[in-house]
Structure 1
Amino acid sequence: MKTTREEAKENIHDNLVDNLQGLLEKNYDAEKGFKKALENAKDSSLKNFLKHQAVTRNRFATELDNEIRNLNEKPKESGSATGTLHRTWIDVKTAFTGSDDEAVLEECIRGEKASLEEYEETLKDNRFPPQIQSVLNNQLSEIRNTVSQVKRLEDIADNWN
């Protein structure tokens, strides 16, 4: 039988892992989303931006995977059903809009804002060990920069179409 203290430690561990798994899943979804957007983009600078973002999200996933393994847990290996639905929605939307770069950017910013919110909520609602906190804060900072970049790209997208 576990003591109250042991049970509390186990619950804290499980909560920590669950939160990291959720962010890992979000990054798998984001990587796939950027790759999907890359297929639909026309402008070469936008394509380069999207490719860079897909690589960045792959790196985020690898970092989270490592942190989960450091906690002696098995990381998830794929994204969420919600992410799959979002990519399907992008396919349907681009079929009807003619897949212009502005529509691609709109979907990117929508996805990045959702990632931003999830990271902010996770960091606000939980205490993480310093190493994990540092990884998450760095990733959050990069996502904020991406949101700003996408907004700037959206402002100049009219020149692409």
Structure 2
Amino acid sequence: MSNQTIDALNDVTKTLIDSQKGYEFACEQCDDSYRLRARFHQYANDRKELAADFQNEVRKLGGEPVTSGGTTGAIHRVLTEFSSLFRDDEKAALAAIDDGEDHLRSEIESKLERDQLTQQARELLQRAHASATEGERFADCMEDADA
């Protein structure tokens, strides 16, 4: 059970780190909007704390926690940066966040389907899922407000 739990937590940790970096990138893109910058900074900090909690749980289970994001997240940030050349920076950042939150939520849902998770891991995944769902709702609301 521990190895499956460790693998699940490490997989999501990579995506949480990518999400944190994505929100930090979005902060840089939205320098004219204090409201957006503050929210993006809040979400970046939330993801940093979640990633640290996931890493601590992996250590408790005797595993080695991941400390960097994945390749997919890096590619996504490059594509977002490229698309912002052709679109309003805030709109590009919001679209990227919406996509990233959807990816994070889907990944967590697939991990929650596993039977072999510890109760603590399941609770961490549920916290991360709630955070991703809230982040996606925020991005959707902001995109709708711009429409």
Structure with the greater relative contact order (CA < 8 A, sep ≥ 6): 1 or 2?
2
- Give ranges in structure 1 of 5+ residues lacking alignment: 1-11
**Contact preservation (8 Å) 2:5, 2:118:** no
2:66 to 61, 65, 76: 76
Any idea what the Cα deviations from partners look like across 1:29-79, whole Å, max 9, x if unmatched? 000011111111132111111111100100110110010000111111101
Q: What is the Cα deviation at residue 82 of structure 1? A: 1.1
Q: What is the Cα deviation at residue 115 of structure 1? A: 0.4
Q: Which SS does the other structure have where 2:65 is aligned?
A: coil
Counterpart position of 2:140: 151
- Give the aligned CA root-mean-square deviation in angstroms: 1.3
Q: Compute the TM-score of the two structures, normalised by the length of structure 1.
A: 0.85
CA–CA distance in 1 between the matches of 2:146 and 2:33?
9
The one-letter amino acid of 1:143's match is: A
1:58 to 43, 48, 51: 48
Counterpart position of 2:85: 95
User: Are 2:27 and 1:35 aligned?
Assistant: no
Moved over 6 A (4+): none
Q: Which SS does the other structure have where 2:93 is aligned?
A: helix
Which has the larger Rg?
1
Query: Identity percentage over the alignment?
Result: 23
Any idea what the Cα deviations from partners look like across 1:60-104, whole Å, max 9, x if unmatched? 1011001000011111110111111111111111122242x1221
Q: What is the Cα deviation at residue 127 of structure 1? A: 3.2
**Contact preservation (8 Å) 2:23, 2:43:** yes
Number of equivalenced pairs: 146
Mapping 1:114-129, distance limit 5 Å: 114-129=103-118
Q: Compute the TM-score of the two structures, normalised by the length of structure 2.
A: 0.93
2:98 to 109, 113, 120: 109
- Give ranges in structure 2 of 5+ residues lacking alignment: none
